[in-house]
Structure 1
């Protein structure tokens, strides 16, 4: 595989070749600077000044060319508008189709321009990263801070390029006017809900939305799934996804996600009572709840690896283990054994197939519905999180059948065992194992010049600036500097957690720290709620269940507001920092310092913490996908697995913290468990500030 400089040259639009970033020259310049500094022939200050000037010139060339092309496109649209006006006066059905094709041709040229912007944006990011790596200091931080925030920023034009919106709007409006009406039409402004079925319009709008960081509820919610894609899709790949896709199999994966989250949180309101009934302290609920997360640390890895060869078998294995685990959890009461209780929860954790669910969506769902499927994955998780405690609140009864006790402690186990048994039968008869592709069957992607712009049209349905190009060699490897030919090894997915960790840049590590923090804080809030509220307010199991269910129900409305409005008003990094500060405020408000601890204080602080953490999760995973190496977009040890492991470890530590703090007494449990949350939150805010400008 060739290195990025050659890839850039190969994929250039030939008539525009003189206007691309001169990546090869700048790469040589970086190497020259390094040699001169080592020889003491030049000062670092001079290098910074000279390289900044060179970058400014390159960016100015790019921006002026973009503006020139915008002007040409605008002129062509103006000419077509005149023809359309004349058609309104003298309708000619035969010419309407011709006019529509002319507008679509302009749309294709807009896609070319967007691809040009994408390639240059990637080149700029790579050369900045290379400079930082060579010289060991944060030139990117300085350059982005001084250029991006300036009122006359040309860097903003490359990365956001809002000005293209007017051209896109003109194309969209005129094609919509001509579509299906042959001159007799309503304006899209009069009927904004009118569907625009033209593929060029949809591709352009999708591309510009990504380029300008515009988003909506579905895309924002889908980001929570962290389903990453490295490659720009080709028609072969899209066809392969269509062949593998099976609606019922997707529904079964989403059902598995939903049931697992219900299984996780259904015991939270009653775990303290169940522990006490077996002779343990109420704070042992931390171990009971956390046992599932402990097992999930290991199950995530082997399920991710297993999904390389099958989806059906790991889902069957998952269902059987979850059935057995819930039977053991429910039977522990009559056996009077805390050990059986914990083993049952461990079995449930060993059945965590979220890695399979995520992998199925990534590998088998067509790109046209991928965002909807990702949002469905997150919605299923959120609904399961809300339904679990709510269901526990309903199961407030007690009776015996053949010496088997059914009460508020055991019923969650029996109900979930029955649910997994039904699911297993449904899975056995309805799931369809998708066909597996081999490397020999994968057709090489054709170049843009040879294949026209069909690939580009489909590829722009994906985030333009979130990932690097498909065959691009990652800068973390040293191969690029050693030779012009990069080894195949430098492109392969990580083959272990250690190799995956070695691919993490400081920005990625900070994002994983933030994810760890938010999961830790949420687990502390949820897992200790039954103990804290019973001690301070005397809440019953039903009251705790209602409180937890209400928190879970805020997930979708909050993401709706953030996805449709807030994320379009502010940058992701701004929302990231602000939501961390709100989490910090929620933690500070939760402390019991003086006087009596009131219900309004607990509920309000819990709501602030939970909602802020939910907002934080969306933008955190969005930024994580943007800064993560493309080598972590596939394979067993992918970005989704890393984030899952970070969150699961956070939950395990949080549950252990609750149990250990219980030895100090229930009166000190709240403050003692909040102190680590406070420290981790402050650390994540400091780390975010240190890497803020690298999140561009």
Structure 2
């Protein structure tokens, strides 16, 4: 609309004209950028592309600052309005309780005055509510129009960038039906934009206003009746709120004015629904999006270019660390049962053997998180040496005496878990990789972890050909060979790490020239050092910080991460036990199956990325929980017989694929639902996600040994293994149902 710039000023609430989105200024800036870019691409003139880029960024900076201005005013005013509404609600409740008591003539007159005062105050708040809704509608409409105009102009839009907010506009008149416009706003603005878009607090305030006016209506009618009965002078002229309290009350002009104002406001409140619908319609087409590398459990914006200290050798070392650890972790899965039988222990102890690495990983990640505040090289060296030692102790357990073999085996796995340095690997990417390289680095981290998880079981295939022999009294065979191989790999890695890796510089270690002293002091005074492209121009309102944050969606994501790892690890760790007893699979075949299973999830990840463009995270999460439940049910034994091979394999694939989807969805939603306080620092959302996953793996592994101990004998009879099947997969079904029920209970909050 041509005259929208004038219309937004004309229809702005009185006194708020300067607080509106400056549509006219944005339009003129856009036209300037568009003209320059048109000139740059024409045959008649040529201008510097840097000028066009500067004008394009200038428009986006202006749009960002205008949006921040609107957000700041909305946050401040809505917080005050909602606070006042809650206060009036409490006062109205007190008056209502007082009215229910027995009242004398004097108390009745006093209460009548109080109700009249409350009516005036509610009238005032209702007017402010309509004014704020009008402000919201006009500004969102202006934002929609300027984004639409930007898309249709010759100016090239700013591309979305990881670590910054992206605004998505859906409109049928646009090519493709939508446009995604990058911004320079930090990710914590997504929460504020969504709060203004949804304006749930205003909807609730509107409902409160309506309820209060209805309550005052009832109180005034009853006060009118009570006044008529007690005074005998008045009579009831009607049952409406517009009736008089009493003949004496009608003689007071102030009361009449109050009732007249209330009558007018009640009439205007009848179109509050229409005002609200207009606000929601204006908001529905605008969607702020956060770009995180959530698949790698990274929830912080990328560092500015001047602080992106990551080097290629540093990245490769951290990726190699993640790959080697996941290989080491999953290496024992196919051979656990044979190792335990050799040392005279139950096969069901395989869960404890694998889980020992998880229990230490849960606690040691806190230490590594704190340690990485000071150094990256030291925790990387410590973790690799712990993994090396853990593998050697694990292998020595093969030749140990019966009394100490099992403790040595568990100690070896315990030391391996202490070498879990994935929190440091993740943080290196989060803190020191620039936004341009961060997506690739995060994808490489996920690929390295997945490759390690596949490589561990796959090693069982070539290692089965090793002929048993001894060196210095220690056996090397198809089972211990993998441990010695990993010990050698960690030794090479540690040597390379010591020679090549250099710790990134810390801010307090950098040299500052005399010319930069003043700028450096300004940076140090800021709690969050960010570059000018991502720093908010206006800080959040103080009242907004006092609003309680809804943590239920974050709890749901954390619970989902725990449940999926519990189910996934419980199924994988118990797979050798079941497949050996059910179908006679040997270690090499089990290792090959697990490796193929891990590698086959790469297409699943690609499918999730495509599906997420048309299906919401919450719908994908709920659907994957149902698929996981179906997979567990397929692996259950029915009628005392073993599950059919097709049912067991299909169930395994369904559960593994579903848990991969659950992880992607949970990470994505967690990135959108975490409070700002958990987005940075040592104990951040990434660490919470890691802890939840490690805890789920630990309890999934422990459940195998727990159920084995309940049966109380070796799992070498059909009856025992069928009972174990019922207990194991029954527990996976129960845990999945708990996660599904919680997700369903807060499904609306996950929007």
SS of 1:635's partner is coil
CA distance in 2, matches of 1:635, 1:472: 20
Quote the residue 1:577 is aligned against. Answer: 622
Render the CA deviation track for 1:275-297: whole Å, top value 9, x for unaligned: 11111000001110101111111
Quote the residue 1:493 is aligned against. Answer: none
**Equivalent residues in 2 for 1:426-445, closer than 5 Å:** 426-438=496-508, 441=520, 444=523
Mapped pair 1:350 → 2:421: no
Render the CA deviation track for 1:107-164: whole Å, top value 9, x for unaligned: xx9767999996861452796479989x99xxxxxxxxxx9xxxx88647646538xx
Mapped pair 1:568 → 2:636: no
Quote the residue 1:23 is aligned against. Answer: 75
Mapped pair 1:124 → 2:196: yes
SS of 1:310's partner is coil
**Equivalent residues in 2 for 1:294-309, closer than 5 Å:** 294-309=359-374
CA distance in 2, matches of 1:322, 1:470: 48
Quote the residue 2:632 is aligned against. Answer: 587
SS of 1:40's partner is helix
CA distance in 2, matches of 1:329, 1:115: 48
Is residue 339–residue 479 contact of structure 2 (8 Å, CA) maintained in 1? yes
Is residue 557–residue 670 contact of structure 2 (8 Å, CA) maintained in 1? yes
Is 321-330 or 553-562 further displaced after alignment?
Answer: 553-562
Mapped pair 1:62 → 2:139: yes
Is residue 587–residue 677 contact of structure 1 (8 Å, CA) maintained in 2? yes
Is residue 642–residue 722 contact of structure 2 (8 Å, CA) maintained in 1? no
Mapped pair 1:161 → 2:161: no
The number of residue pairs the alignment matches comes to 548
SS of 1:34's partner is helix
**Equivalent residues in 2 for 1:315-354, closer than 5 Å:** 315-336=380-401, 337-354=405-422
Where does the alignment leave 5 or more consecutive residues of structure 1 unmatched?
A: 1-5, 81-108, 137-146, 163-210, 448-452, 460-467, 482-502
SS of 1:405's partner is strand
Cα shift at 1:230: 5.3
Quote the residue 1:378 is aligned against. Answer: 446
Quote the residue 2:217 is aligned against. Answer: none
| Partner residue of 2:333 out of 268, 276, 283 | 268
Is residue 19–residue 61 contact of structure 1 (8 Å, CA) maintained in 2? no
**Equivalent residues in 2 for 1:203-222, closer than 5 Å:** 211=288, 222=293
Cα shift at 1:401: 2.9
Quote the residue 1:613 is aligned against. Answer: 659
SS of 2:459's partner is helix
Higher relative contact order at CA 8 Å, sep ≥6: structure 1 or structure 2? 1
TM-score, structure 2 as length reference: 0.66
TM-score, structure 1 as length reference: 0.71
Is residue 144–residue 286 contact of structure 2 (8 Å, CA) maintained in 1? no
Quote the residue 2:306 is aligned against. Answer: 239
CA distance in 1, matches of 2:542, 2:319: 33
CA distance in 2, matches of 1:584, 1:474: 45
Mapped pair 1:313 → 2:373: no
Is residue 458–residue 595 contact of structure 2 (8 Å, CA) maintained in 1? yes
CA distance in 2, matches of 1:472, 1:75: 32
CA RMSD of superposed structures (Å): 4.0
CA distance in 2, matches of 1:120, 1:62: 15
Quote the residue 2:297 is aligned against. Answer: 226
Render the CA deviation track for 1:338-396: whole Å, top value 9, x for unaligned: 11111111011111111110111111111111111111111111111111100122211
Mapped pair 1:422 → 2:474: no
Is residue 159–residue 212 contact of structure 1 (8 Å, CA) maintained in 2? no
**Equivalent residues in 2 for 1:436-585, closer than 5 Å:** 436-438=506-508, 441=520, 444=523, 455-456=532-533, 472=540, 478=546, 505-563=551-609, 565-585=610-630
Cα shift at 1:249: 0.6
Where does the alignment leave 5 or more consecutive residues of structure 2 unmatched?
A: 1-18, 23-60, 97-121, 157-179, 209-271, 510-518, 712-719
Is residue 74–residue 196 contact of structure 2 (8 Å, CA) maintained in 1? no
Mapped pair 1:359 → 2:438: no
Larger radius of gyration, structure 1 or 2? 2
